[in-house]
Amino acid sequence: MEASYRKVATAIPTPISQKITLYPAEDRFFGPRPAVLVLPGGGFRELPPHEGEGYARWLSGLGIHAFVLSYRLLPDRFPAPLEDARAGLDHIRNGDHGLNVGRVGVIGSSAGGQLAGLLMTGRVLSIEEGVADPPRPDFAILAYALADLDLLPPPVVEHLLGDLLPIKDELSPAKHVDASVCPTFVWATAQDPPGLPNALEWTRALAAAAVPVELHVYPGGSHGIGLADGVEYGGEPHKFIAREPHTASWTTACAAWLRREGVLVD
Protein backbone atom coordinates (compact mmCIF):
# COMPACT_ATOMS: atom_id res chain seq x y z
CA MET A 1 0.00 0.00 0.00
CA GLU A 2 1.40 3.38 -1.00
CA ALA A 3 1.52 6.26 1.45
CA SER A 4 -0.09 9.42 0.13
CA TYR A 5 2.22 11.87 -1.60
CA ARG A 6 2.01 15.52 -0.68
CA LYS A 7 4.11 18.60 -1.29
CA VAL A 8 6.06 19.85 1.71
CA ALA A 9 4.68 23.03 3.27
CA THR A 10 7.79 24.88 4.37
CA ALA A 11 5.97 27.17 6.80
CA ILE A 12 4.47 24.35 8.88
CA PRO A 13 6.50 21.49 10.37
CA THR A 14 5.41 18.25 8.72
CA PRO A 15 5.91 14.73 10.12
CA ILE A 16 8.53 12.93 8.06
CA SER A 17 6.08 10.10 7.31
CA GLN A 18 3.95 12.62 5.41
CA LYS A 19 6.93 13.69 3.29
CA ILE A 20 7.54 10.12 2.11
CA THR A 21 5.88 8.08 -0.61
CA LEU A 22 6.35 4.38 0.03
CA TYR A 23 6.79 1.77 -2.70
CA PRO A 24 7.17 -1.64 -1.03
CA ALA A 25 9.04 -4.50 -2.67
CA GLU A 26 6.79 -6.43 -5.02
CA ASP A 27 4.62 -9.10 -3.40
CA ARG A 28 6.67 -11.98 -4.82
CA PHE A 29 9.51 -11.11 -2.44
CA PHE A 30 9.42 -12.41 1.14
CA GLY A 31 11.25 -11.91 4.40
CA PRO A 32 13.44 -8.95 5.30
CA ARG A 33 14.20 -6.82 2.26
CA PRO A 34 16.71 -4.02 1.74
CA ALA A 35 15.32 -0.49 1.68
CA VAL A 36 16.42 2.67 -0.11
CA LEU A 37 15.80 6.33 0.64
CA VAL A 38 15.20 8.00 -2.74
CA LEU A 39 16.40 11.61 -3.07
CA PRO A 40 15.41 13.18 -6.42
CA GLY A 41 17.46 15.99 -7.91
CA GLY A 42 16.09 19.27 -9.25
CA GLY A 43 18.58 21.85 -7.98
CA PHE A 44 16.59 22.32 -4.74
CA ARG A 45 13.88 23.96 -6.87
CA GLU A 46 11.76 20.92 -7.78
CA LEU A 47 11.61 17.15 -7.27
CA PRO A 48 11.39 15.50 -10.71
CA PRO A 49 9.13 12.45 -10.46
CA HIS A 50 11.20 10.39 -12.91
CA GLU A 51 14.03 10.49 -10.31
CA GLY A 52 11.57 9.69 -7.54
CA GLU A 53 8.68 7.45 -8.54
CA GLY A 54 10.66 6.20 -11.55
CA TYR A 55 13.53 4.94 -9.41
CA ALA A 56 11.11 3.64 -6.76
CA ARG A 57 9.23 1.42 -9.20
CA TRP A 58 12.51 0.00 -10.50
CA LEU A 59 13.74 -0.71 -6.96
CA SER A 60 10.42 -2.29 -5.97
CA GLY A 61 10.76 -4.68 -8.90
CA LEU A 62 14.18 -5.73 -7.62
CA GLY A 63 12.73 -6.60 -4.22
CA ILE A 64 13.75 -3.38 -2.47
CA HIS A 65 11.46 -1.19 -0.39
CA ALA A 66 11.70 2.37 -1.77
CA PHE A 67 10.95 5.50 0.26
CA VAL A 68 10.75 8.64 -1.92
CA LEU A 69 11.44 11.74 0.17
CA SER A 70 9.94 15.14 -0.57
CA TYR A 71 12.65 17.13 1.18
CA ARG A 72 12.43 20.89 1.69
CA LEU A 73 13.34 23.09 -1.28
CA LEU A 74 14.30 26.74 -1.79
CA PRO A 75 13.70 29.20 -0.23
CA ASP A 76 14.52 26.81 2.63
CA ARG A 77 18.27 26.27 2.71
CA PHE A 78 20.60 23.99 4.60
CA PRO A 79 20.37 22.39 7.04
CA ALA A 80 16.64 21.93 6.24
CA PRO A 81 16.98 19.37 3.40
CA LEU A 82 19.69 17.51 5.30
CA GLU A 83 17.48 17.36 8.39
CA ASP A 84 14.74 15.82 6.25
CA ALA A 85 17.13 13.28 4.74
CA ARG A 86 18.39 12.18 8.16
CA ALA A 87 14.83 11.90 9.43
CA GLY A 88 14.03 9.81 6.36
CA LEU A 89 16.79 7.33 7.18
CA ASP A 90 15.63 7.17 10.80
CA HIS A 91 12.05 6.58 9.66
CA ILE A 92 13.09 3.65 7.47
CA ARG A 93 15.02 2.02 10.29
CA ASN A 94 12.69 2.86 13.17
CA GLY A 95 9.40 3.98 11.66
CA ASP A 96 5.92 2.52 11.86
CA HIS A 97 5.68 1.64 8.16
CA GLY A 98 5.29 -2.03 9.08
CA LEU A 99 7.82 -3.41 6.60
CA ASN A 100 10.50 -5.99 7.36
CA VAL A 101 13.62 -3.98 6.53
CA GLY A 102 17.19 -5.23 6.22
CA ARG A 103 20.08 -3.06 5.03
CA VAL A 104 19.21 0.56 4.31
CA GLY A 105 20.75 2.52 1.47
CA VAL A 106 20.28 5.78 -0.38
CA ILE A 107 20.00 6.80 -4.03
CA GLY A 108 20.52 10.44 -4.98
CA SER A 109 20.51 12.26 -8.30
CA SER A 110 22.26 15.58 -8.91
CA ALA A 111 21.36 17.81 -5.93
CA GLY A 112 19.78 14.78 -4.29
CA GLY A 113 23.19 13.18 -4.67
CA GLN A 114 24.68 16.01 -2.65
CA LEU A 115 22.24 15.16 0.14
CA ALA A 116 23.08 11.47 -0.23
CA GLY A 117 26.77 12.33 0.05
CA LEU A 118 26.28 14.35 3.21
CA LEU A 119 24.44 11.35 4.68
CA MET A 120 27.20 8.99 3.57
CA THR A 121 29.95 11.03 5.20
CA GLY A 122 27.97 11.75 8.37
CA ARG A 123 28.69 15.43 7.95
CA VAL A 124 27.43 17.76 10.71
CA LEU A 125 27.41 21.40 9.58
CA SER A 126 28.90 24.19 11.66
CA ILE A 127 25.53 25.98 11.51
CA GLU A 128 23.83 23.08 13.32
CA GLU A 129 23.45 22.64 17.04
CA GLY A 130 22.78 19.52 19.06
CA VAL A 131 23.48 17.05 16.25
CA ALA A 132 25.59 14.04 17.19
CA ASP A 133 26.08 10.69 15.47
CA PRO A 134 23.69 11.32 12.54
CA PRO A 135 22.28 8.26 10.75
CA ARG A 136 24.25 6.95 7.76
CA PRO A 137 23.31 4.56 4.95
CA ASP A 138 24.72 1.05 4.48
CA PHE A 139 25.18 1.50 0.71
CA ALA A 140 24.72 4.29 -1.83
CA ILE A 141 23.82 4.79 -5.49
CA LEU A 142 24.89 8.15 -6.95
CA ALA A 143 23.40 9.26 -10.27
CA TYR A 144 25.28 12.26 -11.74
CA ALA A 145 25.53 13.37 -8.13
CA LEU A 146 27.08 16.59 -6.85
CA ALA A 147 30.41 15.85 -5.18
CA ASP A 148 32.16 19.21 -4.90
CA LEU A 149 30.61 22.66 -5.26
CA ASP A 150 33.89 23.92 -6.72
CA LEU A 151 33.01 21.93 -9.85
CA LEU A 152 29.92 24.09 -10.51
CA PRO A 153 29.89 27.60 -12.04
CA PRO A 154 30.16 30.24 -9.27
CA PRO A 155 26.78 31.87 -10.13
CA VAL A 156 25.06 28.50 -9.68
CA VAL A 157 26.76 27.99 -6.32
CA GLU A 158 25.79 31.50 -5.19
CA HIS A 159 22.15 30.83 -6.13
CA LEU A 160 22.08 27.51 -4.27
CA LEU A 161 23.82 28.70 -1.13
CA GLY A 162 22.95 32.37 -0.74
CA ASP A 163 24.36 33.54 2.60
CA LEU A 164 25.70 30.01 3.26
CA LEU A 165 28.53 30.54 0.76
CA PRO A 166 31.14 30.64 3.60
CA ILE A 167 30.40 26.96 4.35
CA LYS A 168 30.66 25.85 0.72
CA ASP A 169 33.37 23.30 1.53
CA GLU A 170 31.28 21.80 4.32
CA LEU A 171 28.50 21.24 1.78
CA SER A 172 30.85 19.51 -0.70
CA PRO A 173 30.52 15.89 0.44
CA ALA A 174 33.45 14.44 -1.51
CA LYS A 175 35.77 16.62 0.58
CA HIS A 176 34.76 14.62 3.67
CA VAL A 177 35.11 11.04 2.45
CA ASP A 178 37.01 8.64 4.68
CA ALA A 179 37.21 4.87 5.13
CA SER A 180 33.96 4.81 7.13
CA VAL A 181 31.85 5.69 4.06
CA CYS A 182 29.60 2.95 2.68
CA PRO A 183 30.16 1.04 -0.60
CA THR A 184 29.01 3.19 -3.51
CA PHE A 185 27.83 2.80 -7.12
CA VAL A 186 28.47 5.91 -9.25
CA TRP A 187 27.30 6.68 -12.77
CA ALA A 188 27.03 9.58 -15.20
CA THR A 189 27.22 10.25 -18.93
CA ALA A 190 29.98 11.78 -21.02
CA GLN A 191 27.53 14.40 -22.34
CA ASP A 192 26.71 15.74 -18.87
CA PRO A 193 28.93 18.77 -18.04
CA PRO A 194 28.14 18.87 -14.31
CA GLY A 195 27.56 15.13 -13.88
CA LEU A 196 30.75 13.71 -15.37
CA PRO A 197 33.38 15.72 -13.42
CA ASN A 198 31.43 15.18 -10.22
CA ALA A 199 31.18 11.43 -10.84
CA LEU A 200 34.93 11.31 -11.44
CA GLU A 201 35.56 13.27 -8.25
CA TRP A 202 33.33 10.94 -6.27
CA THR A 203 35.26 7.97 -7.61
CA ARG A 204 38.64 9.55 -6.92
CA ALA A 205 37.73 10.45 -3.34
CA LEU A 206 36.17 7.07 -2.55
CA ALA A 207 39.03 5.10 -4.08
CA ALA A 208 41.61 7.23 -2.24
CA ALA A 209 39.87 6.33 1.03
CA ALA A 210 39.76 2.62 0.08
CA VAL A 211 35.96 2.66 -0.04
CA PRO A 212 34.50 0.04 -2.42
CA VAL A 213 33.29 1.97 -5.48
CA GLU A 214 32.07 1.10 -8.96
CA LEU A 215 31.91 3.77 -11.69
CA HIS A 216 30.03 3.66 -15.00
CA VAL A 217 30.26 6.40 -17.63
CA TYR A 218 27.88 6.13 -20.57
CA PRO A 219 28.37 7.98 -23.89
CA GLY A 220 24.84 9.31 -24.43
CA GLY A 221 22.40 11.38 -22.40
CA SER A 222 22.18 14.77 -20.75
CA HIS A 223 22.00 15.76 -17.09
CA GLY A 224 18.87 14.58 -15.30
CA ILE A 225 18.20 11.60 -17.56
CA GLY A 226 17.11 9.32 -14.71
CA LEU A 227 16.37 5.77 -15.84
CA ALA A 228 17.09 6.88 -19.44
CA ASP A 229 14.02 4.95 -20.60
CA GLY A 230 12.06 7.98 -21.81
CA VAL A 231 9.21 7.27 -19.39
CA GLU A 232 7.45 10.02 -17.45
CA TYR A 233 6.09 9.39 -13.97
CA GLY A 234 3.35 11.73 -12.75
CA GLY A 235 3.16 15.49 -12.88
CA GLU A 236 4.03 17.64 -15.88
CA PRO A 237 6.41 16.41 -18.61
CA HIS A 238 10.02 16.99 -17.65
CA LYS A 239 12.34 18.39 -20.30
CA PHE A 240 15.30 16.23 -19.28
CA ILE A 241 13.62 12.87 -19.83
CA ALA A 242 15.14 11.07 -22.81
CA ARG A 243 15.40 7.53 -24.11
CA GLU A 244 18.98 6.24 -24.36
CA PRO A 245 18.86 2.42 -24.42
CA HIS A 246 22.56 1.89 -23.71
CA THR A 247 22.59 4.40 -20.87
CA ALA A 248 19.44 2.74 -19.49
CA SER A 249 21.55 -0.37 -18.86
CA TRP A 250 22.95 1.36 -15.75
CA THR A 251 20.07 -0.21 -13.83
CA THR A 252 21.22 -3.70 -14.85
CA ALA A 253 24.80 -2.88 -13.84
CA CYS A 254 23.57 -1.44 -10.54
CA ALA A 255 21.44 -4.52 -9.78
CA ALA A 256 24.51 -6.71 -10.39
CA TRP A 257 26.52 -4.47 -8.04
CA LEU A 258 23.83 -4.75 -5.35
CA ARG A 259 24.09 -8.53 -5.59
CA ARG A 260 27.89 -8.44 -5.50
CA GLU A 261 27.74 -6.31 -2.33
CA GLY A 262 25.33 -8.77 -0.73
CA VAL A 263 22.51 -6.22 -0.56
CA LEU A 264 20.27 -8.23 -2.88
CA VAL A 265 19.95 -11.96 -2.30
CA ASP A 266 17.36 -13.50 -4.65
pLDDT digit string (tens) for the chain, length 266 residues: 333 322 222 334 578 989 999 999 999 999 999 999 999 999 999 999 999 999 999 999 999 999 999 999 999 999 999 999 999 999 999 978 999 999 999 999 999 999 999 999 999 999 999 999 999 999 999 999 999 999 999 999 998 899 999 999 999 999 999 999 999 999 999 999 999 999 999 999 999 999 999 999 999 988 989 999 888 676 555 555 778 899 999 999 999 999 999 999 87
pLDDT score, position 236: 57
pLDDT score, position 242: 76
Residue 114: helix, strand or coil by DSSP?
helix
Q: How far apart are CA 180 and CA 48, in angstroms?
A: 31
pLDDT score, position 7: 28
Q: How far apart are CA 250 and CA 233, in angstroms?
A: 19
Q: What is the assigned CATH class of domain 17-261?
A: alpha beta
Q: How far apart are CA 194 and CA 151, in angstroms?
A: 7
Yes or no: say if 40 and 115 are a contact pair by the CB < 8 Å rule.
no
Burial class (CB in 10 A: 0-12, 13-18, 19+), 11: exposed
The alpha carbon torsion through 6, 78, 147, 86 (nearest 10 deg) reads: -60
pLDDT score, position 260: 97
Residues in the chain: 266
How much of the chain is in helix, strand and coil states, percent to nearest 5?
35, 15, 50
pLDDT score, position 10: 32
Model pTM above 0.85: yes
- Selection from 253, 251, 227, 249 nearest residue 240 by Cα: 227
pLDDT score, position 246: 95
